[in-house]
Structure 1
Amino acid sequence: MADFDVDLAVIGGGSGGVRAARVAASYGAKVIVAEGDRVGGTCVIRGCVPKKLMVYASDLQKEIGNAAGFGWSVPPAKFDWGVLTANRNREVARLEMAYTSTIERSGARLVKERATFQDARTLRLANGETVRARNILIATGSTPNHGEAIPGIKHVISSDKVFELRELPQRILIQGGGYIAVEFACIFAGLGSKVTLVCRSDNILRGFDEDVRAHVRRALEEQGILVVTSCWINRVDRIDESSGLLKASLSNAEQLVADQVMFAIGRKPNTQDLNLQNSGVALSPDSGGVAVNENSQTNVPHIYAVGDVTNRVNLTPVAVREGQAFADSVFGERPTQVDYADIPTAVFSRPEVGSVGLSEAQACALFERVDIYKTDFRPMKVALSHSSERMMMKLVVDADSGRVVGCHIVGSGAAEIIQAVAIAIRMKAVKEDFDATMALHPTAAEELVTMRTPTKRCVR
């Protein structure tokens, strides 16, 4: 041990890095965590958590509107952006302290300094301190990707900077069609902004089941969100300094005026400014992330990487699982590999999306015969209101084995439901298992066990 200051040096204090540090320390390792920004990473500080709080806030306008049908007389409601942001920031700060305490209670040392590679064994902290480590874990996450530089890119905000807005924009133009763009489109629309969503693809939510994409797009347009597809922004100009208004020029020759222009076109691995060239660690030519094997190990045997910086499956629970597996394998003498099959995912749009397993297209390309069970209905929650909201549920079944290989839900509570369905799919449940399960009535989720007749069969 005399040759090393620590057994493990973790670069990054996000979900994956914190889990790895805590578990490694519990096995008796001497651990240091270097974080040059706030502790908690993207998810806690400028991602999942503050975004979900804003989703809840945006829901309330619709709930207030639906109240009259249930006999409630509600006086005109007024939204205060300052109150929401102050309370949201307070909760984020609380969670940051919780993450900090978790690291310190584990016995690991937290250093709030950015770390870079001096060589393959040595990290240099921003304060000048150097740390020589037996093992190094890169867990620096990801950063917003603005794509190609366009004229006026300085006027564009990212999904990180959106949390720093001092006031609610009356009009916002969002470029992107993925879950981040769609979620923020719904958030701002729910809070009262006029929203335009510009998507380079022919439809939103690429990679999701086609029925999900179609259902969500219809719902967005019914909310008054203008969805412009097969198009992109190629220039942003400030009209004048006094109003702060922006003019966005689109590839279809249209020009749109907005208070804010936001790019949410994806995120890229945060490998910049780590001096990786000093470590010998290779990047993946395909993904741009740190290249790792099934054990999260880089081409330099004592250097590992987990989470979004590897650009494998960029979800917080996956980063946590990868951090756990790393610590168990390297320090706990419990070799563990992460299984990336059947990972549930959610889009906290309005309506909400929950998805696990294969889409219809993926299943039809893989199996000889595929049965589709699908239902589309008006949920009871809006039965007494004027809402046009509808819910969609879909099961994708390998017809030869009977195994349910995919489930896709759009509607209220979709994410909560899909977490439980993911257990059944991971256990390789067959359609007969769903059919034999007693329905819980009256719920929306009971539709998953009452669909008896396929609505479609795909034969390869």
Structure 2
Amino acid sequence: MTFDYDLFVIGGGSGGVRAARVAAATGAKVALAEEFRMGGTCVIRGCVPKKLMVFASGYSEMFADARAYGWDLTDGPFDWPRFRAKLHDELDRLEGIYRKLLDNSGVEICDARASLKDAHTVALSSGRTVTAKHILIATGGRPVVPDIPGAELGITSNDIFLLDELPKSILIIGGGYIASEFAGILNGLGVQVSQFYRGAQILRGFDDEARGLVAEGMREKGVNLHLGTNIVEMRAATEEDLQNNGIGAAVEQGKPVSFPSGKPTKGIWVKATNGTEAIFDQVMFATGRAPNTENIGLAEAGVQIGRRGEIVVDAYSQTGVPSIYAIGDVTDRVQLTPVAIREGMAFVETVFKGNPTKVDHKLIPSAIFTQPEMGTIGLTEEEARDIEPVEIYCTSFKPMNHAFAGRTDRVMMKLVVSSATRKVLGCHIVADHAGEMIQLAAIAIKMGATKEDFDRTVAVHPTMAEELVTMKDPVRRA
């Protein structure tokens, strides 16, 4: 059978674009369809704009620190419209780069929504129908909004970059990394932030000691973090609500919620599970993400969908339909951009280079751009001690730059070590630039470094990271 393309990629995010380019470099005829903007979640509405907002939000503390270090500076107001315009210029530039990379690689770009008709046929919203020997689905994921009265009044992380103006107050619902990152970002930009999370502690799945320090740091910086709390309903605030300043019982430990500009003139009335009420200018949901598998013809093509809505694939990213593969967040394996890229490259190795390649999903480092920031790789203390006896090496201290500036921020360095093999099973850092540090520590841990390998490494002084190689005695054994 003759096909229009050797490969048709559905989805123009980082994973799909990389797979299309690398496949085209083998001489394959490749096309890619994207219905929104090239670059996907990471570039357009995720990692990149979020990190730029992290940078912007950090300057509020830098002004105070600079004065402590002898600089004569005066704080000024944050200009959101000015920042937003430059942010979108940067996203436009990056999207242009993605398109140019595809074009230079010989990949045909289809600015259309694509859906499967069968194992080798794709229908485009432009009206075209094309065939391909192989189809790769890389449609990513999307934020999930809970089913509660008034939820349509809220926004998600997709919308935060599009706001015409920053709210004076915001309630963020959720306790994962997206919720916690944006709580720190918006707090740093001068927004009064409250965060509700139904669980006992934010950042579920991460090391307990590390996430506890992050939560403590967020509160010290001004985030009104409420654990064991969710909302049951929300609606547009009434005139009576506004006259009462939106308070039924108190949200903040029996105290009225204050608004930077006095009483609000508009907003969203929210009732919490503990019976408290308040008005916020904006409510943002960060309550999880779901794979983008709806209405793209997966059932028609015979592709299996898992219980979480994910595309079920094997170790080589192949679905139960031999011609159809899937990578990235749509498979709900590890929802990280670099992982999607690795999966895309492994797909090309397997299908177009005759070199069957699996992606190693173990020991993947990650950074959570909360304030304070966290970097992590490997097992948490809780996970490790359920597997084997371990030694815990941990230190928490006030770093030199913060101590001199009079700040209370503390950092944490933690190694989880196997008592039997001495291998470092996990590393968890809470500190400025923790993401940068964990990337380098991850190389050693991925190579199987032992605690003694860390000990043999000469410290770089004076740095925070030197603590990773100077912790001689375990603080506990488990």
Common topology (TM > 0.5): yes
**Selected match of 1:356 from 361, 377, 398:** 377
How many pairs were matched up?
454
| CA–CA separation in structure 2 for the residues paired with 1:140 and 1:290 | 10
Aligned equivalent of 2:35: 36
Determine the structure 1 residue equivalent to 2:454.
434
Q: Does 1:394 align with 2:414?
A: yes
Out of 255, 265, 272, the position equivalent to 1:243 is 265
Pick one of 191, 196, 206 that aligns with 2:189: 191
Code of the aligned partner of 2:219? E
| Residue 339 (structure 2) aligned to one of 305, 318, 326 | 318
Runs of 4+ with >6 A deviation: none
Aligned position for 1:382:
402
2:32 is the counterpart of 1:11 = no
User: Distance between the aligned counterparts of 1:74 and 1:420, measured in 2?
Assistant: 35
SS in 2 for 1:268: strand
Instruction: State how far apart, in whole Å, the 2-side matches of 1:118 and 1:402 are.
Output: 54
Of 408, 421, 441, which residue of structure 2 is paired with 1:421?
Answer: 441
Write the deviation string for residues 282-340 of structure 1: whole angstroms up to 9, x where unpaired: 1112x320000000000101100000000010000000000000011100122211000
Identify which of 336, 342, 347 aligns with 2:368.
Answer: 347
Measured after TM superposition, the shift of residue 171 of structure 1 is: 0.4
- CA distance, structure 2, for counterparts of residue 360 and residue 76 of structure 1: 41
What's 1:334 paired with? 355
- For the residue of structure 1 that corresponds to 2:65, the secondary structure is helix
Residue pairs, 1:31-430, within 5 angstroms: 31-147=30-146, 149-240=147-238, 243-285=265-307, 287-367=308-388, 369-430=389-450
Give the partner amino acid of 1:64.
Answer: F
CA contact (8 A) 2:303 2:320 kept: yes
Report the Cα distance in structure 1 between the residues aligned to 2:200 and 2:68, rounded to whole angstroms: 37
How far is 1:456 from its partner? Answer: 0.6
Distance 1:251 1:75 in 2: 42
CA distance in 2, matches of 1:243, 1:155: 16
Report the secondary structure of 1:320's partner residue: helix
State the AA in 1 paired with 2:171: L
Cα distance in structure 2, aligned partners of 1:337 and 1:57: 39
Q: Distance in 1 between matches of 2:233 and 2:149?
A: 5
| Ranges in structure 1 where 5+ consecutive residues have no aligned partner | none
Provide the C-alpha distance between the structure 1 equivalents of 2:413 and 2:142, rounded to a whole number of angstroms.
33
Query: What secondary structure is seen at the aligned counterpart in 2 of 1:76?
Result: coil
Measure, in 2, the Cα distance between the counterparts of 1:314 and 1:232. Answer: 25
Partners of 2:332 and 2:195 lie apart in 1 by 25
Q: Deviations over 1:243-281 (max 9, x none)?
A: 331111111111121000000011100011202121110
- In 2, the alpha carbon distance for the partners of 1:451 and 1:214 equals 21
Equivalent residues of 1:152, 1:237 under 8 A apart:
yes
Deviation at 1:45, TM superposition (A): 0.2
Distance 2:74 2:335 in 1: 43
Q: Secondary structure at the match of 1:124?
A: strand
- In structure 2, what residue type is equivalent to 1:280? G
Cross-structure match for 2:258: none
Distance 1:18 1:243 in 2: 46
Per-residue displacement from partner, 1:156-177 (whole Å, max 9, x unpaired)? 1011011111111110000000
Secondary structure at 1:219's aligned position in 2?
Answer: helix
**2-structure distance, mates of 1:271, 1:58:** 35
Counterparts of 1:46 and 1:271, CA distance in 2: 19
Separation (CA, whole Å) in 2 of partners of 1:243 and 1:108: 52
**In 1: Cα distance, 2:278 partner to 2:6 partner:** 55
3-state SS in 2 of match to 1:446: helix
Asked if 1 retains the 8 angstrom alpha-carbon contact of 2:117 and 2:300, the reply is yes
8 Å CA contact retained: 2:63, 2:75: no
In the alignment, residue 430 of structure 1 is paired with which amino acid? T
TM-score for both structures, normalised by structure 2: 0.94
Any conservation in 1 of the 2:63–2:74 contact (CA below 8 Å)? no
Q: Kindly provide the amino acid, as one letter, of the partner of residue 423 in structure 1.
A: I
For residue 449 of structure 2, give the secondary structure of its aligned residue in structure 1.
coil
Once the two structures are TM-superposed, the CA of residue 120 in structure 1 deviates from its matched residue by: 2.0
Correspondence for 1:448 among 453, 462, 468 = 468
Shift of 1:88: 0.8
> 1: CA distance between counterparts of 2:294 and 2:150?
23
CA distance in 1, matches of 2:3, 2:231: 51
Shift of residue 419 of structure 1?
0.3
Asked whether the 8 Å contact 1:23–1:328 carries over to 2, the reply is no
Partner SS for 2:465: coil
Q: CA deviation at 1:240?
A: 4.3
Tell me the SS of whatever aligns to 1:384: helix
Q: Give the CA deviation at 1:76.
A: 3.0
Q: Secondary structure at the match of 1:428?
A: coil
Shift of the 375–42 alpha-carbon distance from structure 1 to 2, 3 Å rule, reads same
> Does the residue aligned with 1:256 lie in a helix, a strand or coil?
strand
